[in-house]
């Protein structure tokens, strides 16, 4: 028989289909159709959305609601409007202002090719590694590497040494409310800093290989860097003509640096309108648990399961979702609840 447990705990079409009662068949058909709209048979989301790698923030969005994230791909205009909301743009401006505090001398360098654009990130890293070794605070540090068989990219907000010499990775989150968020809202934030740590640690341990970046970003290792970029690298004392030379140099610098694994993960919450710090939270790092979570999220990307929306315990998320009116998952969830309640009443 159909029970809340079947939906809440297992949340899979297979589970639903074995629990079906005849009068629930139309509802289940709609669930299947919804899944079909967000996933194409014989095509994983990686293939369907033409992806070779993922960003850390993508997985964080997924941890909020997979259906919402998937809608972002099939209904990009709605997502674009969401990204233009005042809270999002104000948050981005605060991040930029903080970055400029530690990088006051902005240099304009023309990037002509994709390799040039990636090279700019590598050059920025090459400048930040010695600063970090010298105990300085750095911001917007790019991280990349392979986690559970998938290539990920991300940008760490802040890295610094604490008074006791620990290497701290901190992520700034801005909030419209002047209070710390409740735990369900911080799940994605903890996932984000945990993944950044995994990527950063593997970079300084030498686990990231040249081909990981070249293959996953489809970059030409022999691409000669633009003339503006070459002039810039020379002013920094770097000798690199091709993208491969610059990348190899960075990988050696990372591995031979005195940087070790991240010691502490921290979330910093700041009030958007006043810019004042609301508070900080330490994040515990449980590697095995984190890797299990990542594998679970990747199962969707690899087409091993359909996307899952939020269940009734977290229905408050739907009230702030731009897809609330059109979301099939939300509609089906209400129907499922109604049916379960009706059945419970009848059985009483």
- Inter-residue contact 122 to 247 (CB < 8 Å): yes
Site of tokens 């390799």: 115
Per-residue b or e along 89-116, where b marks 16 or more CB atoms closer than 10 Å to that residue's CB:
eebeebbeebbeeeeeeeeeeeeebebb
Q: Using CB under 6 A, which of 7, 71, 144, 300 touches ligand SF4? A: 71
Pick left, alpha or beta for residue 303 (phi over 0 → left; psi -120 to 50 → alpha; otherwise beta): left
Q: DSSP label at 204?
A: H
Task: For the CB of residue 329, give the shortest distance to ligand SF4 in the complex, in Å.
Answer: 4
In angstroms, the CA 305 to CA 9 distance is 15
Task: For the CB of residue 19, give the shortest distance to ligand SF4 in the complex, in Å.
Answer: 21
Site size with ligand SF4, rule: CB under 6 A: 14
- Both structure tokens of 305: 């399961």
Under rule CB under 6 A, residue 65 binds ligand SF4: yes
In angstroms, the CA 299 to CA 295 distance is 6
Under rule CB under 6 A, residue 330 binds ligand SF4: yes
Under rule CB under 6 A, residue 141 binds ligand SF4: no
Which region, judged by CB under 6 A, interacts with ligand SF4, from 61-69, 132-140, 192-200, 277-285? 61-69
**Length, in residues, of the chain:** 348
Indicate the residue among 219 and 310 with the shorter CB distance to ligand SF4: 310
Q: Using CB under 6 A, which of 323, 337, 342, 346 touches ligand SF4? A: 323
What 3-state DSSP class applies to 72?
A: helix
Task: For the CB of residue 288, give the shortest distance to ligand SF4 in the complex, in Å.
Answer: 28
Q: What are phi and psi for residue 96, nearest 5 degrees?
A: -65, -45
Q: What are phi and psi for residue 182, nearest 5 degrees?
A: -80, 160
Residue 123: other Cβ atoms inside 10 A: 22
Task: For the CB of residue 61, give the shortest distance to ligand SF4 in the complex, in Å.
Answer: 11
Under rule CB under 6 A, residue 287 binds ligand SF4: no
Under rule CB under 6 A, residue 53 binds ligand SF4: no
Under rule CB under 6 A, residue 34 binds ligand SF4: no
Q: What are phi and psi for residue 120, nearest 5 degrees?
A: -60, -40
Under rule CB under 6 A, residue 310 binds ligand SF4: yes
Q: Is the dihedral of CA 196, 202, 205, 211 positive or negative?
A: negative
Task: For the CB of residue 216, give the shortest distance to ligand SF4 in the complex, in Å.
Answer: 28
In angstroms, the CA 204 to CA 201 distance is 5
Return the biggest CA–CA distance within the chain. Answer: 80
Which region, judged by CB under 6 A, interacts with ligand SF4, from 16-24, 248-256, 260-268, 322-330? 322-330
Q: Using CB under 6 A, which of 114, 244, 302, 317 touches ligand SF4? A: 317
Indicate the residue among 67 and 123 with the shorter CB distance to ligand SF4: 67
Task: For the CB of residue 263, give the shortest distance to ligand SF4 in the complex, in Å.
Answer: 35
Closest CA to 264 of 285, 278, 280: 285
Q: Using CB under 6 A, which of 67, 150, 208, 238 touches ligand SF4? A: 67
Task: For the CB of residue 88, give the shortest distance to ligand SF4 in the complex, in Å.
Answer: 16
Q: Using CB under 6 A, which of 87, 133, 286, 324 touches ligand SF4? A: 324
Footprint of ligand SF4 (CB under 6 A): 65, 67-68, 71, 309-310, 317-318, 321, 323-324, 327, 329-330
């Amino acid at each position: 028989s159909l029970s809340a447990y079947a939906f809440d705990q297992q949340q899979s079409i297979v589970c639903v289909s074995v629990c079906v009662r005849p009068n629930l068949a139309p509802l289940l058909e709609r669930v299947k159709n919804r899944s079909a709209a967000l996933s194409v048979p014989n095509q994983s989301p990686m293939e369907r959305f033409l992806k070779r790698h993922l960003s850390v923030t993508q997985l964080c969005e997924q941890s909020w609601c997979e259906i919402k994230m998937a809608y972002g791909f099939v209904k990009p205009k709605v997502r674009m409007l969401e990204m233009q909301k005042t809270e999002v743009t104000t948050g981005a401006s605060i991040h930029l202002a903080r970055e400029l505090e530690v990088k006051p001398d902005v240099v304009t360098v023309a990037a002509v090719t994709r390799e040039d654009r990636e090279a700019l990130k590598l050059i920025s890293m090459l400048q930040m590694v010695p600063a970090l070794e010298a105990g300085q605070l750095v911001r917007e540090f790019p991280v990349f590497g392979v986690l559970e068989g998938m290539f990920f990219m991300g940008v760490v907000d802040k890295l610094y040494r604490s008074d006791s010499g620990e290497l701290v990775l901190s992520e700034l989150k801005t909030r419209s409310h002047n209070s710390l968020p409740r735990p369900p809202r911080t799940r994605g934030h903890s996932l984000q800093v945990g993944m950044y740590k995994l990527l950063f640690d593997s970079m300084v341990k030498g686990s990231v290989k040249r081909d990981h970046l070249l293959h996953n970003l489809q970059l030409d290792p022999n691409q000669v860097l633009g003339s503006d970029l070459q002039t810039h690298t020379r002013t920094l004392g770097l000798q690199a003509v091709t993208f491969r030379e610059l990348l190899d140099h960075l990988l050696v610098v990372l591995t031979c640096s005195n940087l070790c694994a991240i010691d502490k993960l921290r979330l910093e919450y700041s009030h958007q309108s006043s810019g004042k710090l609301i508070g900080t939270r330490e994040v515990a790092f449980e590697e095995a648990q984190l890797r299990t979570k990542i594998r679970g999220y990747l199962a969707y990307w690899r087409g091993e399961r359909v996307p899952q929306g939020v269940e009734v315990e977290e229905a408050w998320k739907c009230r702030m979702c731009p897809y609330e009116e059109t979301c099939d998952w939300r509609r089906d969830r209400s129907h499922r609840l109604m049916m379960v309640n009706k059945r419970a009443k009848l059985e009483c």
